[in-house]
Amino acid sequence: MSIVKSGNVAVKDGIAVVCFNVCSFSLTCDCLLSLFSACCQLVEVLLNMLILICCSVSYNSTGGFTGITNLGGIYYYQFGGAYSGFSGADGQRAQELDVQFYNLKLPTVTASMAFGGAIMAFSCLMVLIGVLRVPWRWPIWLLVECMLDISIAVGYMPALYFYFKNLQDAYNSQICKDREALYSSKGYQGFTCALHGADIAAALFACMSIIAFFMSAMFAIKGFRTVRRQKKKPPITVEF
């Protein structure tokens, strides 16, 4: 029995025995790449879920008073119980301005939630595809995924522009100014015609999503190269 060792392969009686240190390192790198890609996709799901929540909060935090006719026309503050500061014509006017302001913000919020929900569903689908090992069976899918990730990341930019533009139009409207003046006359200062915290948070999460999708595109390219390299390797006979 003769053993000749050369580099990372030992030849034992004519049989190639692979040294496992290099192979283990290569497999570890590939596993880490898959792990980082999966984590990036999970972050995309989380960020778009937060965008959905922030858009919902932005719409619902418009505040205001709702008339409860079966309680004798008492106006209830949505977040503070019964309140008697508005009555008669002022209460009716407050109701009308609330409804009109809701309707001004509704198209922007609806579009934002639809966009965020669709992207979140796409990210969940990407996670499922990775779990089912579709990229290993059809490596070309990784190139498709890369193009989709880049398209989504670029698509976020005009979406952010229209999001801020439409919100600013709503806040600059006469309806919002009349509403702010009416509530300010009763001592309420939380109804200013300016971007709220939830509006800004949704935009920040969208910016983070842009970064996450660009990173996903990069991992998809690296994954495609890795899968092709692994599939081109000839079968190795290993003796224990």
Indicate the range of 50-54, 133-137, 196-200 predicted with least confidence: 133-137
Give the start-to-end residue ranges of the domains of the chain: 36-232
Instruction: State the average pLDDT over residues 48-71.
Output: 66
pLDDT number for residue 206: 94
pLDDT tens-place string over residues 2-33: 444 444 444 444 444 444 343 444 445 556 66
| CA neighbours closer than 13 Å in the CB half-sphere of residue 93 | 15
Instruction: State the average pLDDT over residues 172-179.
Output: 90
- Report d(CA 188, CA 120) in Å as an integer: 37
pLDDT band, very low/low/confident/very high, at 194 (cuts 50, 70, 90): confident
- Judged against a pLDDT cut of 60, whether residue 117 lies above it is answered with yes
pLDDT number for residue 90: 74
pTM of the predicted model as reported, rounded to 2 decimal places = 0.73
Query: Which parts of the chain are beta strand (E)?
Result: 3-6, 9-12, 15-18, 65-68, 74-77, 81-82
pLDDT band, very low/low/confident/very high, at 151 (cuts 50, 70, 90): very high
